[in-house]
Amino acid sequence: MKEITCRLLVIGAGPGGYVCAVRAGQLGIDTVIVEAGRPGGACLNVGCIPSKALIHAADEYTRAVHLSAGKSRLGITAAKPSLELAKTMAWKDGIVGRLTNGVVALLKKAQVKYVQGRARFLDGKTVEVDTEMGRQVIRAEVIVIATGSTPVELADLPFGGRVISSTEALALKEVPKKLVVVGAGYIGLELGTAFAKLGASVTIVEALSRILPLYDAELVRPVEKRLDTLGVRIITGARVKGLAKADAVAITSTDGKSSTLAADKILVTVGRKPMTDGFGLDAIDLDMDGRAIRVDDKCRTSMRGIYAIGDVTGEPMLAHRASAQGVMVAELVAGEKRAFDRVAIPGVCFTDPEIVSVGLSPEAAKAAGIDVKTGIFPLSANGRAMTLEREDGFVRVVARADNHLVVGIQAVGANLSEMSAAFALALEMGARLEDIAATVHAHPTQSEGFMEAAQRALGAAIHI
Amino acid sequence: MASYDLIVIGTGPGGYVCAIRAAQLGLKTAVVEKRATHGGTCLNVGCIPSKALLHASELYEEASHSFARMGIGIGIGKPKLDLAAMLKFKDEGVDGNVKGVDFLLKKNKVDSHRGTGRITAPGHVEVTAEDGIVTTLDTKAIVIATGSDVARLRGIDIDEKRIVSSTGALALDKVPGKLLVVGAGVIGLELGSVWRRLGSQVTVVEFFDRIVPGIDLDVAKNFQRILAKQGMVFKLASKVTAIDTSGKILKASVEPAAGGTAETIEADVALIAIGRVPYTDGLGLDAVGVKLDDKRRIVTDAHFATNAPGIYAIGDVIAGPMLAHKAEDEGVAVAEIIAGKAGHVNYDVIPNVVYTYPELASVGRTEEDLKAAGTAYNVGKFPFTANGRAKVNMTTDGFVKVLADAKTDRVLGVHILGPDAGNMIAEAAVAMEFGASSEDIARTCHAHPTLTEAVKEAALAVEKRAIHM
Ligand SMILES: Cc1cc2nc3c(=O)[nH]c(=O)nc-3n(C[C@H](O)[C@H](O)[C@H](O)COP(=O)(O)OP(=O)(O)OC[C@H]3O[C@@H](n4cnc5c(N)ncnc54)[C@H](O)[C@@H]3O)c2cc1C
Ligand SMILES: Cc1cc2nc3c(=O)[nH]c(=O)nc-3n(C[C@H](O)[C@H](O)[C@H](O)COP(=O)(O)OP(=O)(O)OC[C@H]3O[C@@H](n4cnc5c(N)ncnc54)[C@H](O)[C@@H]3O)c2cc1C
């Protein structure tokens, strides 16, 4: 096949890669993108979107169950709902299909050439792709590696059979009766919660002493409480040894005690690792940072003309970080001056309630030697939360004690993910407590909790 | 005779917030309230009960439209509604909130006087309790926060049974078969939505040739289309001139706004929601010479001072949008001014939310405002149909619209028609308080997958560089 030459080649069409390519196309850069699987990457196909679809369906189902059990204070009763998970999955697949087709359309509109197949580096300027029609060589002045990440496998509990990763969990045709989730990070908890709501009996096993170890205990407490109400069993400080019988896992606790847990499915969510295998990275010998490709604040790798973005560059492995890096690299290639100096990359955990975190937690700020003031406002004192029947959770603002510059904002509560943008923007604009306290927030909304948390840090909260 | 630094008349969101802030600042403060409970219109018969019913009716509608697409089947037939229980849920919400205000006032050591307040002279307030007992109070400063009352239609009596104001519409004991809503403003559309979801056939009659006057026209048109799709019927550029109550069914005469032949619309209940008017009855303003404007609002200067010494006014009773958070912010500002600090409210950045489905939230200028002012501007729009979270939540109605100055790129207005718009508008308000450009919003990392990504994309669209469109 005829060689393709282009200015920019992007490897991988996840939220890092396709966004980079679309932006480059908008800027008039002659761009090619290669994708081995389906456009949209982990995020659209087996990550953010399908998981949030399943979470939404699980929430709706719980509501219906709640209404049928006659527990609703709202005066609504309904007959007992039934669930057909295969249909739920078909619905989810429909959405995923629309979004991935959308990505193809966006690439086309931006005049980006899409090549289907696995790319392999031949050298720093050349890549070969095995396409359906044969071997395709692509030469590019600039190459962006956006190959993403894959689930980490446990040596003692390899994937296969009952042992599944998030990808298989998002394609189950039946709700497992007994589900054991290994690893209490956000992916395990999001999916574990959804399946518990859909009727599975769920046990979560975590090696560390608490769940969601990336978030502080105060933030996680409302989630723990809700898991308890949902009947989810949590075992911390325990390691999984392997399959016991065909239908159970063996675990050992820190004090050496062994036991087994019956399981129809075992979902292993112990993290994701950068995807650096099988595409000839050794041919170009880039500097690494552990398992990730090392990049600077412009996402440049150690080789001129090669950039890396997204999960392949390590933590935080988040779709919006990948996209933001993608836009930046496209603009750099177009000759604009850019650097990745984000003060705020919001992290959202779509558990129940949801956790949002932007910037520094009180501990992180203290560890960084910053003397801070914090203000917490509980949603139990928020009118909107009461009318929505969800008073659990709070908003917390962390600011420098000396000049009140806000350095972090965290919140936990139903539906608070949509507050993440206001938090991020406040940090990016260099807001002080006074700025947030003095911004008029609409009544009655949960966002008033943000304003009141800032007011409380200033000793002037009204509703508490 | 009790003597105070500050007496606040009326304990709606303006008044009680003002009193708490004043007490925090060390002023000896009292409130006077004629209603049995604190919290004013907002907590008793406004924001809170309406949002409780909006939430409950939304769940009811959701349960009645089968969840089939998501693979959730619901037994046979529709869910059942126990309206009395639903109203009780609402009343409990109100009760929790007003008790909260009681608690906060006590906690901040604010004295409560129950009864109707009358200003006999600057520094003197007379409180007449329900049993007729009169107490006289002395004070250095007075803040009038007496709020607003339902605007009435000439010749139409509100009996709160068949012809109701928003107050009656929050407590109907039966779902009306046919509901006539007079006025397509926020309150009419919110309560119209509640009853439509619970089973009423709703017709909305509006004098202007558009709904939600004051909202960006393009947004309002799309909003109307979505509401109509849900089954609400609109009769625009029309006026209700009379309602015949003699029969079992109400018969409303509806004429074109410009005049012409009347037609009759039948209804079981008619909701009069043509607006609210400032409430100053019985305050004795004539006696102290406090000036009112042509709309009977109390005239104040930029520091909330009336023309009478030591008398201030805030909230619905003065000029500006009749919104709880506007009243609250004025309450804080006036307390700070009276305590000798610099209080201030930025009227350019007051968000406004309609809690229908989809929600409609806006802050800043509309396209019409900008055209009228001759400001050159750019528009960035992004639809929720292209947003992943909206897709998985099956809430893809609506869009985000960002208006930015054509020369400086400063954000001048943000309008969101969509799910959860009320929470999302906070970001826009913070941005505008900082004088942000559309580029500032566009370059802020927005979490995926959230609805807020649509705000970012709309900001990107201002410079025609949205990614997902
Ligand atoms: C269950 C789950 C839930 C998640 N939820 C969220 C969430 O709510 N919010 C959030 O921000 N993040 C979430 N994430 C993480 C998010 O999916 C990733 O951060 C994001 O997808 C990273 O984007 P990327 O472009 O770097 O890589 P990816 O999305 O992984 O895309 C990489 C693409 O490169 C392709 N590729 C790899 N090698 C080659 C090659 N040699 N040639 C051609 N193509 C190749 C792959 O096929 C893939 O399509 C979730 C992840 C999972 C698993
Ligand atoms: C159905 C409905 C829904 C609404 N929804 C929203 C919403 O979602 N968001 C929003 O921002 N706004 C909403 N509003 C508007 C909001 O309720 C008002 O803007 C707000 O209550 C104004 O506050 P205020 O303190 O100025 O006056 P009010 O809340 O009206 O309080 C005034 C108080 O003063 C008392 N009073 C009056 N005269 C005297 C006297 N002489 N002596 C003693 N006491 C006196 C009254 O009894 C009353 O309690 C809604 C209104 C209605 C009717």
Tens digit of pLDDT for each residue in A199-247? 999 999 999 999 999 999 999 999 999 999 999 999 999 999 999 887 8
- Range A64-68 average pLDDT: 88
In this predicted structure, the answer to whether residue B38 has a pLDDT above a threshold of 90 is yes
- Rounded CA-CA distance B334/B338 in Å is 6
pLDDT at B343: 87
Q: What angle do CA B436, B442, B446 make, to 5 degrees?
A: 110
- By Cβ distance, the residue of B85, B353, B452 closest to A445 is B353
Q: What are the start-end ranges of the H helices in B83-229?
A: 83-107, 166-169, 186-197, 217-229
Pairing of strands A4-11, B148-150: unpaired
- Rounded CA-CA distance B374/A219 in Å is 49
Domain ranges of chain B: 2-149+277-338, 163-274, 352-461
Statement to judge: residues A137 and A220 lie in one domain: no
Which amino acid is present at A276?
T
**Percentage of chain B lying above the pLDDT 90 cut:** 93
Q: Is residue A60 part of a domain?
A: no
Nearest Cα neighbor of B314 from B284, B339, B345, B287 is: B345
Residues comprising chain A, all counted: 464
- Rounded CA-CA distance B211/B398 in Å is 16
Q: Is residue A419 part of a domain?
A: yes
Q: Are B424 and B455 in contact (CB under 8 A)?
A: yes
Tens digit of pLDDT for each residue in A15-44? 999 999 999 999 999 999 999 999 999 999
Instruction: Among 3.40.980.10, 3.50.50.60, 3.40.50.410, 1.10.540.10, name the CATH number for the domain at B2-149+277-338.
Output: 3.50.50.60
Statement to judge: residues A11 and A126 lie in one domain: yes
- Range A259-268 average pLDDT: 96
For residue B426, the chain A residues in CB contact (below 8 A) are: 419, 422, 439, 441-442, 445, 447, 450
pLDDT at A73: 85
Q: Is residue A405 part of a domain?
A: yes
A209 near B CB under 8 A: no
Q: Is residue A356 part of a domain?
A: yes
Q: What is the fold of B163-274?
A: FAD/NAD(P)-binding domain (3.50.50)
Tokens 């126990």 found at: B82
Tokens 């392999």 found at: A120
Q: Is the bond preceding A316 in cis, omega lying within 30 degrees of 0?
A: yes
Computed over every residue of chain B, the mean pLDDT equals 95
Tens digit of pLDDT for each residue in B402-429? 999 999 999 999 999 999 999 999 999 9
pLDDT at B74: 60
Statement to judge: residues A13 and A142 lie in one domain: yes
Q: DSSP code of B292?
A: B
Each residue of B44-68: b (16+ CB within 10 Å) or e?
A: bbbbbbbbbbbbbbbbbbbbbeebe
Residue A169: which domain range?
Answer: 163-270
Dist. CA B14 → ligand 2 center (Å): 8
Q: How confident is the model at residue B67 (pLDDT cuts 50, 70, 90)?
A: low
Tokens of B387: 């947003």
What ipTM score was computed for the predicted complex, to two decimals? 0.87
Tokens of A216: 């502080």
Distance of CA B462 to the CA centre of its chain: 29
Dist. CA A148 → ligand 1 center (Å): 5
What's the predicted TM-score (pTM) here? 0.91
Ligand 2: does its nearest atom lie under 6 Å from the Cβ of B327?
yes
Contact B56 A418 (CB under 8 A): no
- Range A375-380 average pLDDT: 96
- Rounded CA-CA distance A63/A155 in Å is 39
Beta strands in B19-70 (DSSP E): 29-33
Contact A77 B80 (CB under 8 A): yes
pLDDT at B65: 72
Q: Are B86 and A74 in contact (CB under 8 A)?
A: yes
Q: Are A107 and A41 in contact (CB under 8 A)?
A: no
Name residues whose C-beta falls within 8 Å of residue A114's C-beta, 6 or more positions apart in sequence.
A13, A32, A33, A35, A39, A104, A107, A108
CATH architecture for the domain at B352-461: 2-Layer Sandwich (3.30)
| CATH number for A277 | 3.50.50.60
- Give the number of other Cβ atoms within 10 Å of residue A222's Cβ: 22
Contact A448 B325 (CB under 8 A): yes
Q: Which of residues 289-308 of B touch A (CB under 8 A)?
A: none
Statement to judge: residues A139 and A224 lie in one domain: no
Statement to judge: residues A261 and A280 lie in one domain: no
pLDDT at A255: 85
Q: Which of residues 13-52 of B touch A (CB under 8 A)?
A: 13, 17, 20-21, 24, 42-43, 47-48, 51-52
Count Cβ atoms within 10 A of the Cβ of residue A267 and give its class: 0-12 exposed, 13-18 middle, 19 or more buried.
Answer: buried
Q: Are B383 and B377 in contact (CB under 8 A)?
A: no
- Range A157-181 average pLDDT: 96
Q: Is residue A69 part of a domain?
A: no
Torsion sign, CA atoms B444, A455, B143, A380: positive
B263-267: strand order across its sheet: B238-244, B250-256, B263-267
- Range B97-121 average pLDDT: 96
Statement to judge: residues A399 and A449 lie in one domain: yes
Ligand 1: does its nearest atom lie under 6 Å from the Cβ of A314?
no
Name residues whose C-beta falls within 8 Å of residue B94's C-beta, 6 or more positions apart in sequence.
B39, B43, B44, B48, B49, B52
Q: Is residue A82 part of a domain?
A: no
Statement to judge: residues A103 and A192 lie in one domain: no
Q: How confident is the model at residue B77 (pLDDT cuts 50, 70, 90)?
A: low
In this predicted structure, the answer to whether residue B76 has a pLDDT above a threshold of 60 is no
B73 near A CB under 8 A: yes
Q: How confident is the model at residue A386 (pLDDT cuts 50, 70, 90)?
A: confident
In this predicted structure, the answer to whether residue B11 has a pLDDT above a threshold of 70 is yes
pLDDT at B330: 97
- Range B68-80 average pLDDT: 69
Q: Active-site residue among B124, B344, B446, B448?
A: B448
pLDDT at A387: 85
In this predicted structure, the answer to whether residue B66 has a pLDDT above a threshold of 80 is no
Name residues whose C-beta falls within 8 Å of residue B216's C-beta, 6 or more positions apart in sequence.
B362, B366, B367, B368, B401, B413, B415
Tens digit of pLDDT for each residue in B192-237? 999 999 999 999 999 999 999 999 999 999 999 999 999 999 999 9
Domains B2-149+277-338 and B163-274 share a fold: yes
Statement to judge: residues A146 and A285 lie in one domain: yes
Q: How confident is the model at residue A68 (pLDDT cuts 50, 70, 90)?
A: confident
**Percentage of chain B lying above the pLDDT 70 cut:** 98
Statement to judge: residues A10 and A143 lie in one domain: yes
Tokens of B149: 């009352």
Give the 3-state secondary structure of residue B202.
strand
- Range A92-98 average pLDDT: 94
Q: Which atom from ligand 2 is nearest to the alpha carbon of A442?
A: 11
Dist. CA B40 → ligand 2 center (Å): 5
- What domain count does chain A have? 3
Ligand 1: does its nearest atom lie under 6 Å from the Cβ of A346?
no
Statement to judge: residues A192 and A298 lie in one domain: no
Known active-site residue A66? no
The Cα of A229 is separated from the nearest Cα of chain B by a number of Å equal to 21
In this predicted structure, the answer to whether residue A305 has a pLDDT above a threshold of 90 is yes
pLDDT at B1: 64
Tokens of B115: 């009864």
Element (H, E) at B51: helix B47-64
- Rounded CA-CA distance A222/A414 in Å is 10
Q: Is residue A58 part of a domain?
A: no
For residue B19, the chain A residues in CB contact (below 8 A) are: none
Dist. CA B434 → ligand 2 center (Å): 30
Name residues whose C-beta falls within 8 Å of residue A262's C-beta, 6 or more positions apart in sequence.
A178, A247, A248
pLDDT at B75: 57
Statement to judge: residues A255 and A295 lie in one domain: no
Q: Is residue A277 part of a domain?
A: yes
- Range A114-131 average pLDDT: 96
Statement to judge: residues A126 and A33 lie in one domain: yes
B442 near A CB under 8 A: no
pLDDT at A78: 85
Phi, psi (degrees; rounded to nearest 5) at A184: -105, 45
